[in-house]
Amino acid sequence: MSERFRNAFQTLVERSPAPPEWEELVVPAPRRSRYRGPLIAVGAAAAVLTVVGVGVWLFPGVGGVGPAAAEIDFVRVGFSQQVTLVCEGGAVSDNGGFDEATIDVYGPNADDRWRVDVTFPTGVVQSFLYEGGPGVPLRAWQRPGGGPPDFAVPFRDAGCEYPNAEGSTIFGLVGPPIHAYRIPSEFLTTARVEPRSGRRVDLLDDLEAPGLATTRADTWGDVAVTVYVWERSFLDDVGRQVTTSTEWWIDPAARRVERTVDVGEYEGLGSWRSELAVLSRDRVAVPAELFDPAGMDLVVDMSQVEEQGSVSTTTSIAPLSEPLMDGAVPAEEGDLATSDLAAVADLREGDRLYRIPAPEGRSLFVRLRPGARPLLFATACDVLTSVELPEGWVGLCTERTVDGRRQTGVFSYPEAAGG
């Protein structure tokens, strides 16, 4: 993640010239997803969090807390969203899932693990476990389900579907507020340490950057907060107007979020509103089993992926050349349409970013960093592998289709090519 940037998950298209650093911590705006294979909507949504009442603590799949249980921070956050779909010239895509839930987030424990339990109105519980910090974890597990698209159910995922030469494009307006790369940890703390670099980054510091957000004083419950308001207006790459406004209600003394509200309108597609708000918070005693992945499915494993900023001392780095850079134009952070792309780019001061047009209006990106390997990346893995990766470069993508099912994650060029 950029030291200047970061804010959210292709559920929001973010075109602001200077969005905040913690992308995954922000209530997202609309995103667009393109891929081959089954048509699966990619939603956009907010954040969400944590937890319990009093007396004997019980957790999904875990017994009561014993006397040796360690105390840990938790917050319970209520999530709700509304969407009005217009879908001019297209079709409505809607999985019929829930527009509300209660999400309990615990962490971090001594092993830098975070636990999320999502409770839906029917009483169904879905659990996530993250290791190495929220946002871009080294590992993530979930239960139930064996990976996308199951993890997105029963959250509502809704948007507009448009046919293209490869199948369909879906513009998601609302969708799951958490996923394999994002939890609303900002409701516990706005600060975190990146697991690979060890750098400390802080959402509150980013929001206070000059010119990014307007502020006002308010209260949430009995907590005095500063409300940071970030408004964006831009045209997508086919000329449709998008306007969004996101509010972060932050307790500056405790450096944690109390509420987020995201509203927006996408010309010809529809409008949305999503909210996350603290219901309760505390320090609670929890059993070690709460952070044990036994019985959960591993859905993200970046522990073996090479650090993007690492320097190659043995491989020659190919220069920017044709045909790879044919038609390349300088790009900005706001041109990265998803939080996953922003996380992969990890833009820092001194980096240069280029956009390379690809078929069907899609894009490849190149990040150049002094002293590091050039990085070629894209959302769709088939787009990444449509060009030959120069010797000494790093290639990453975030969505691929295997056996007819869409997978999300961070895939290296060999994985994207089926190696």
Predicted confidence at residue 53, as pLDDT, reads 28
Q: Which residue has the tokens 């997202």?
A: 28
Q: 297 and 346 in one domain? A: no
Say if 397 falls within a structural domain.
yes
Predicted confidence at residue 119, as pLDDT, reads 93
Predicted confidence at residue 343, as pLDDT, reads 80
Residue 203: name the closest of 183, 222, 218, 189 by CA.
189
Q: Show Cβ contacts of residue 133 under 8 Å, excluding neighbours closer than 6 positions.
A: 108, 112, 114, 192, 193, 194, 195
Q: Which residues pair with 197 in a beta bridge?
A: none
Return per-residue pLDDT of the chain as tens, 419 residues.
332 222 332 232 232 323 333 333 334 444 444 322 222 222 233 322 222 222 223 333 333 334 456 789 999 999 999 999 999 999 999 988 899 999 999 988 888 899 999 999 988 888 999 887 666 678 888 887 544 444 445 788 888 988 876 677 778 888 788 876 678 888 998 887 766 666 677 888 878 877 778 999 999 999 999 999 988 887 776 788 989 999 999 999 999 999 999 999 999 999 999 999 999 999 999 898 999 999 998 877 776 554 444 433 333 445 555 456 667 888 888 788 777 788 888 888 788 899 888 777 778 999 988 777 888 999 888 888 888 888 778 889 988 877 666 677 788 888 887 75
Q: Show Cβ contacts of residue 260 under 8 Å, excluding neighbours closer than 6 positions.
A: 26, 27, 46, 47, 184, 246, 247, 248, 249, 275, 276, 277
Q: Show Cβ contacts of residue 322 under 8 Å, excluding neighbours closer than 6 positions.
A: none
Predicted confidence at residue 47, as pLDDT, reads 29
Q: Which of 264, 284, 301 is the last residue of a domain?
A: 301
Say if 307 falls within a structural domain.
no
Q: Count up the domains in the chain and report the number.
A: 2
Predicted confidence at residue 182, as pLDDT, reads 74
Q: 265 and 182 in one domain? A: yes
Predicted confidence at residue 324, as pLDDT, reads 66
Q: 188 and 43 in one domain? A: yes
Say if 208 falls within a structural domain.
yes
**Integer Rg of the chain from CA:** 20
Q: 87 and 236 in one domain? A: yes
Predicted confidence at residue 405, as pLDDT, reads 67
Q: Evaluate whether 376 touches 395 at the Cβ level (below 8 Å).
A: yes
pTM, entire model: 0.64
Domain range for residue 279? 6-301
Rounded Cα distance between 236 and 348, Å, is: 25
Q: Evaluate whether 383 touches 399 at the Cβ level (below 8 Å).
A: no
Q: 353 and 280 in one domain? A: no
Q: Evaluate whether 242 touches 234 at the Cβ level (below 8 Å).
A: yes
Q: Evaluate whether 115 touches 85 at the Cβ level (below 8 Å).
A: no
CA geometry: angle at 159 spanning 77 and 174, to 5°?
10
Say if 321 falls within a structural domain.
no
Say if 367 falls within a structural domain.
yes
Q: 150 and 202 in one domain? A: yes
Q: 410 and 336 in one domain? A: yes
